[in-house]
Chains A and B, each alone.
Chain A
């Protein structure tokens, strides 16, 4: 595999681009692996990479039922931020953001991480006070780039929002995280896959898990569409379909519901929006950024009912379009290029699970709600640590399945145990 550098780009430019090789192998499954990771999405690939790179684990397989980047990796709005407030989430997402900042160098692969600022619009003096409290917490706990902007500052940065004082929710200011931004979703999958492959990880695509073979309180093998694979340790990283695998392993219920979340991209436009802008008040929930190709990438709420269908429904298209028009009326004549729906694990408190399970050699990575993309590097980092050392790192000890039994809910939104409300 060729290492990317300015020199290799220059040399291949002069020699007809003939010097590039495959970025990762397409191996046949071996009968046994020390670690089998189910799910070749961003979290599964990141886990494989850090298991090999940080912990020196050899003989790893990543099982993907479709193709890399075809699930939620390609069905999100690529926003990265760390402005979480609850203890545990604070440190976790800040660690993730620090990993994002060095990810292109770490992987020798340009993930196009663009720290363009994340701007949450505020619409009342009360909202500004609440945001100031939260952002003071951020500034005092290791996230120095949290700022509250008044209206004049916001207007200078984003002049074309709807600032009408007679709109239903007039804009009064904004809570801003300046190191937040976006990354190229495919490149993250490909970069981690390439990095993992370089360390000898077998990435098995078109390899669907159809059964889990148990020996007492441990997993001995996974039955796949490409044959039986015996495993020393098994890790689930299949957000959206976690409950299906959990049932295959005979483990009963989970504090998770599967919902679908839609996202949209418009036709490409000239540069219009330099930041991620978020509009959320009352019934509205809307986030938008512009991709490097010029498409406006945006999304809103879940479809509100439980579903395993990877297709969206029309009332949400209308709601999201209305929210878009209320803050960016200049988008009125822009055509939608495509829209899609991803299957997300909505957990009971809006926070994820990175933990051991009732089976001794089975590990769980699940329940990412809306937040899976930004969490990718830290999720892989801590999940690899958990699998390699067979104990949760201090930083993830409350991301276990038993926290509700202890009376702990890590509920950023304060919405209570109703999965669909943790948007």
Chain B
């Protein structure tokens, strides 16, 4: 079992979460070229090592998270909310708390 430290709920088993996919993809603008969309939808780096990926805490707070995880060892290096505004708010709150 992988243990994921959800910033909202604390450390939980990965069976509470649903794996989204590659979190490093920048989806292009809706009117971008067909080639740009082809690459975003179909092409993957498929990294063996640390990759950025999305997980959904579907049986918890239902928040989407961005996680850096090693695909060979399953070790988790960082967890943050996928929403950039929330991630910023959370980190400024933590800094204020310190």
Contact = CB atoms under 8 A, between A and B. Distances in A.
A84 B45 CA distance: 29
A282 interface: no
A225 interface: no
Interface stretch (A118-126, A128-136, A249-257): A249-257
A89 interface: no
**Chain A binding site: helix, strand, loop or mixed by DSSP?**
loop
B38 A404 contact: yes
Contacts, number: 71
Nearest to B67: A305
Nearest to A244: B48
B1 A307 contact: no
Interface residues of A, number: 26
A71 to B, nearest CB: 15
Interface string A247-277: 0000011111110000000000000000000
Contacts of B47: 243
Interface residues of B, number: 26
A348 B2 CA distance: 25
Interface in B36-55: 38-39, 41-48, 51, 53
A211 interface: no
B42 A243 contact: no
Nearest to B72: A308
Contacts of A67: none
A257 B46 CA distance: 5
A306 interface: yes
Contacts of B91: none
Most chain B beta-carbon contacts within 10 A, residue among A252, A253, A257, A306: A306
A116 B73 CA distance: 39
Contacts of B74: 307, 309
A307 B14 CA distance: 14
A2 B1 CA distance: 49
A314 B18 contact: no
B45 A253 contact: yes
Contacts of A404: 38, 41-42
A418 B44 CA distance: 11
Interface of A: 241, 243-244, 252-258, 304-309, 313-315, 348, 404-405, 417-420
Interface of B: 1-2, 13-15, 18-19, 21-22, 35, 38-39, 41-48, 51, 53, 71-74
